[in-house]
Amino acid sequence: MNIPENLQYTTDHEWVLIDGNKAKVGITDYAQDALGDVVFIDIPEIGKLVSVGETVTEVESTKSVSDIYAPLEGKIVEINSELDDGPELLNGDPYGEGWIFVLEIDEATSSNGLLSATQYRELIEG
């Protein structure tokens, strides 16, 4: 299972890459594997304000429909429109081309609720 060390994770299997006041979000390799072949993603709206744990979007696969949650509080400022025509990017490159959205966060926003790669590995292997 691919779990990059430079990312942070949620217990709901989202990954987060924080860079200043921006947080790029996607689903983990574990999540995409559990979902199976992704066939559709409901792209979130730019400008939407979200709270931690709030449902941001849904991913539909051949197995199920799963919610994607906000890992941090912020405003959606960018979306990956490539997923409209290529939802399979979530399966093929979950940590690269398969990112879902970018949040603008307050730099004082705490990421204390996020897991390190080691903690996430323990969670999924637990």
46: number of Cβ within 10 Å: 12
**What percent of the chain has a predicted confidence (pLDDT) above 90?**
88
Among positive and negative, which fits the CA dihedral 86, 91, 97, 99?
Answer: positive
User: What is the tens place of the pLDDT at every residue in 54-108?
Assistant: 999 999 999 889 999 999 999 999 999 999 999 999 999 999 999 999 999 987 6
pTM value > 0.85: yes
For position 63, what pLDDT does the model report?
Answer: 86
Q: Write the single-letter amino acid at 54.
A: E
**What's the mean pLDDT in 96-124?**
89
DSSP string of 20-54, one letter each residue: TTEEEEEE-HHHHHHH-SEEEE-PPPTT-EE-TT-
Look at the block and give the residue holding tokens 């590995």.
121
Q: ∠ CA 79-80-81 to the nearest 5 degrees?
A: 100
How far separated are the first and last CA of the chain, in Å rounded? 14
**What percent of the chain has a predicted confidence (pLDDT) above 70?**
97
For position 110, what pLDDT does the model report?
Answer: 66
Residue 20, CA distances (Å) to 15, 42, 48, 83, 110 in order:
16, 27, 20, 25, 12
Residue ranges covered by each domain of the chain? 8-125
What CATH number does domain 8-125 carry, 3.90.76.10, 2.40.37.10, 3.40.50.720, 2.40.50.100? 2.40.50.100
For position 61, what pLDDT does the model report?
Answer: 93
For position 109, what pLDDT does the model report?
Answer: 67
For position 113, what pLDDT does the model report?
Answer: 84
For position 115, what pLDDT does the model report?
Answer: 95
> Residue 29 above 80 pLDDT?
yes
Q: Name which residue leads in pLDDT, 112 or 73.
A: 73
